[in-house]
Structure 1
């Protein structure tokens, strides 16, 4: 459908080597976009980029450590040099979780804010001059239902996700009307990162989450990627400043994934 086409568009997707980011890259490429994928090393995104190119798409793998602001201008510069501009920025990169409260330190808060607030801000700031020249430009931030739910065990991560949600609303005000800014707030999605959290903290948590989810399954990366396609496409041209929940049905607030102190 034409309204969901990204033909001729250029998208940057951070954290594009696996999970949600890789799914977004594949689906954007299928919709006609040229995609630039970032991860800490080129090797982490090269396989996804190669898959897209093998299917006839255009993909550029870029190494960038989002904890280092000095590396971020190169993401924009390489994308513009390769594809001629930027239409869509997807701030997807994230960490799998954070320590329990008594183990959390200031550096955990700082790292979470760097990855989920500061780096997205810097990339948006650096990309804006190109995006302002491209009709229909769109920024999509990947926050979490943890941004506003009262769950235990991920204080640094969820606090930063909450800041990212408000950053989305404020950035939409600053960049409108030429650039739309929205966010997606997923619940539990079957990704390698979440599996690592389950394995290290609570092996039975997956089954418990499914039990407390109305649709009785976890999300897939594609569930989120198709929402990201919608928000980037002309079909969402009257949507900005919105945080879109994709949850499979609200998880019971009484369910806690950490014990009492």
Structure 2
């Protein structure tokens, strides 16, 4: 049920953090990889790791906010492999500022990367999946789509939008064989979160105290849900977002 041998998976934000962990897990499950992010050097390093597992890797640098670059990455994937079976829409960013201090350009950048980027990549890959008659899209959401995070209004708004993009695409494409689901982590030990914890000495302690499991997630803990949603094990699931949050959203405290 979890078989991915010979499948083609495209992962955005694949150079580090959650994207890197999911990319490696897909490779271990037998999938070939199309690796996307803005940093070619990071992608080349990941590609070496992937190839060491005996599967193929295509490096396709891409800014997900640029529709032309998105389409070029998808075209490269089709040229190389002839299909795309799985999309992990992972690229993302945040800013931490009080809402009243957020400049419009910073708000727009977060929305562009986290929401518009998800739409552009899902649309471009979705066209190919619709031609194929099958595919699984997994959009990386966040606890911030369900609960307000202080100082992260743009991020919360963008991830709430991601959840609705997930539902909307799932409903539109269900009859044509394309499933669209989400995966929503809580605070995870990634470079993005490290930048926040480095800037705020008590931040990690406050996050742990708010989380029933009393710790942050590790990037590799997102892997199980991703493989489940990518594979036929979830063949009758679409339009759902799985919370991988250590109990954060269940906690009424």
What TM-score do you get using the length of structure 2 for normalisation?
Answer: 0.94
1:84 aligned to 2:82?
Answer: yes
Range with greater deviation from structure 2 (227-236 or 208-217): 208-217
Structure 1 residues 174, 98: CA separation in 2 closer, same or farther (over 3 Å shift)?
farther
The residue aligned with 2:215 is: 217
Matched, 1:187 2:181: no
Mapped to 1, the partners of 2:247 and 2:146 lie a distance apart of: 15
How is 1:1-261 mapped onto 2 (pairs within 5 angstroms)? 3-134=1-132, 136-177=134-175, 178-200=177-199, 202-250=200-248
* Alignment coverage as a number of residue pairs: 251
Moved more, 113-122 or 127-136: 127-136
Alpha-carbon distance between aligned partners in 2 of 1:40 and 1:4, rounded to the nearest angstrom: 30
Cα deviation digits, residues 88-142 of structure 1 (max 9, x gap): 1111000143432122122222212211221221222212232124454110000
State the SS of the aligned residue for 2:223: helix
Matched residues in 2 for 1:187 and 1:159: separation? 16
2:15 and 2:39 in contact (8 A); partners too: no
* Mean Cα deviation higher: 227-236 or 145-154: 145-154
- What is the root-mean-square deviation of aligned Cα atoms in Å? 1.5
Show structure 2 runs of 5+ residues with no match.
Answer: none
Question: 1:246 Cα shift?
Answer: 0.8
Q: Please identify runs of 4+ aligned residues in structure 1 that moved more than 3 A.
A: 133-136, 251-254
- 1:258 is aligned to none
Shifted more, 167-176 versus 109-118: the winner is 109-118
TM-score computed with the length of structure 1 as normaliser:
0.91
Structure 1: 5+ residue stretches without partners: 255-261
C-alpha distance in structure 2 between counterparts of 1:4 and 1:175, whole Å: 22
Determine if contact 2:145/2:163 at 8 Å carries over to the other structure. Answer: yes
